[in-house]
Chains A and B, each alone.
Chain A
């Protein structure tokens, strides 16, 4: 009977804030405890195993029963000094710069889309969103040829130019919803006070959409950081990104160097974990938007 009555009480209690504290102290029903355990058991162990591998001493790494050992951080130190540091640095540099370009271009375009009515607006908006509908593999070969023509193969400049473009549609989408929340009266009163259009956009509209800008930046960064196919075909050594470096280990059936591989995997996941912890709400909104508008 208790489990049946429980949810009704909580739904009801939530409305009057006074009893929230009472609800917090109540023991959750067993089904929620089991559910929490299942969720954690599904999500964490695979990744944690990689973390364990990354700090497992080399002589124990093939001893699968050894789960308790003194962790070694030697490999993380090595990552910084050996040639594996370069791909991570490349990834950081290209992802951040690319995301900045994306946000800059997309936010300006989003201002037009959200503040201005003109003929053909819907069509133009559709054209901007169209690339999301066809898979990235459709652009693979021409982009490869173009980069070769311009001598941008295996350069960070080439990757940055490309990363700047990829997430523009998503960023416009995110920015448009953010701009819709900025009160129109602000822009209008600034215009009445005699502010010119550039000043209104730069000083009034965009600062108000700060959270949207941040969300667009984070999403663009993560998608760039995770991108694999294009860095794979466009880079080989100097501009190789982290995700390409991971795959360059796996060569056929020979024994893989699991230690460095695990370290690279963990390092590649660190910024993502940071962003999840800091900006979960923005991420959830962005990923669902990114998924739904396709």
Chain B
């Protein structure tokens, strides 16, 4: 149907679309723009009656914020480590599902459980596993006569614990995407490789892997972006601690906004973050756009 030939029908279609458009504008786009405006203001919700324009003061503060730098570094390490693990295990799982095992669909459904369940429940599950009083991980340490310590209360192990939990939650997504890419490879190629005497390893390395690199880039980019902004599990498992050793950048923003009540400065951090992500996303698109197009087709 074309707009020009609709006549009075135009109004009807307008009525169909407008509510959704306005709703999304009101709840998603307008708030994002307002955040950018707030980033130029001094607004502590306790002391200030309203947001007050303070030029680029917040941005000057942003550049000298060592806490933020630490949070950014932790987030970057967290995102890289978690994504790497997810892709490696994900490729393995996808190759397994691609071999068409018996009961594949049921197994795939079960496999998806961690990524569909609530992130806070994932956090609870892993807090329980690492807990010194009820958890099996520390019990195993005790049985093996290893030195006792509090897993989620020591800086390094708490950070590792977060990575493990994230890998458990999101490996299914990587596996699912890679599995879809593998399914798109014509079966004739498997057969041809087999006939030529390729081993399973060669088949995977020489035939399958080159054809799923596009999807590896997509899945990796997706997980990097999401893991960089991880908040829920930090909140449940470590609360950013001990100290600030697991304070990822989203948690830092949360603390600035809702514990220090510095809404203006928190907005500045968010805006800076958004700019950083946009730049990274643009680079990613430029670098991999050809790969992405081949993955989409």
Contacts and interface: CB of A to CB of B under 8 A. Distances in A.
Nearest to B296: A292
A255 B24 contact: no
B28 A112 contact: no
A228 B118 contact: yes
A203 interface: no
A183 interface: no
A35 B129 contact: no
B147 interface: no
Given A4-B194, A127-B29, A142 B113 contact: no
A38 B277 CA distance: 36
A227 to B, nearest CB: 8
A137 B229 contact: yes
A172 interface: yes
Contact of B111 (A43, A131, A133, A172): A43
Contacts of B21: 109, 124, 127-128
B250 interface: yes
Given A142-B38, A169-B24, A276-B116, A284 B108 contact: yes
Interface in A196-238: 197-198, 201, 222, 225-226, 228-229, 232-233
Contact of B101 (A35, A65, A287, A292): A35
B58 interface: no
Interface in B200-230: 200, 218-219, 222, 225, 229
| Range of interface residues on B (Cβ < 8 Å) | 35 or more
A184 to B, nearest CB: 9
Contact of A64 (B139, B187, B231): B139
A294 B229 CA distance: 15
Contacts of A122: none
A169 B24 CA distance: 8
A228 B122 CA distance: 12
Given A109-B16, A168-B20, A197-B12, A46 B118 contact: no
A262 B257 CA distance: 30
B270 to A, nearest CB: 6
Contact of A11 (B24, B139, B190, B232): B190
Nearest to A172: B20
A283 B25 CA distance: 27
A225 B120 CA distance: 11
A252 B242 CA distance: 10
Contacts of A80: none
B168 A46 contact: yes
B124 to A, nearest CB: 5
B53 interface: no
A35 B99 contact: yes
Interface stretch (B1-9, B60-68, B69-77): B1-9
Contacts of A252: 239
Contact of B20 (A108, A135, A292): A108
B118 A269 contact: yes
B1 A115 contact: yes
B121 A265 contact: yes
Contacts of B32: 131, 134, 138-139, 142
22 contacts: A7-B194, A24-B102, A31-B200, A50-B128, A105-B19, A109-B21, A135-B225, A135-B273, A138-B270, A140-B270, A168-B23, A169-B28, A197-B13, A243-B121, A246-B124, A246-B236, A264-B124, A276-B116, A280-B108, A280-B109, A292-B296, A294-B222
Interface of B: 1-3, 6, 9, 12-13, 16-17, 19-21, 23-32, 34-35, 38, 89, 93, 96, 99-103, 105, 107-121, 124-129, 131, 133-136, 138-139, 153, 168, 171-173, 176-177, 180, 187, 190-191, 194, 200, 218-219, 222, 225, 229, 231-232, 235-236, 239, 250, 253-254, 257-258, 263, 266-267, 270, 273-274, 277, 281, 296
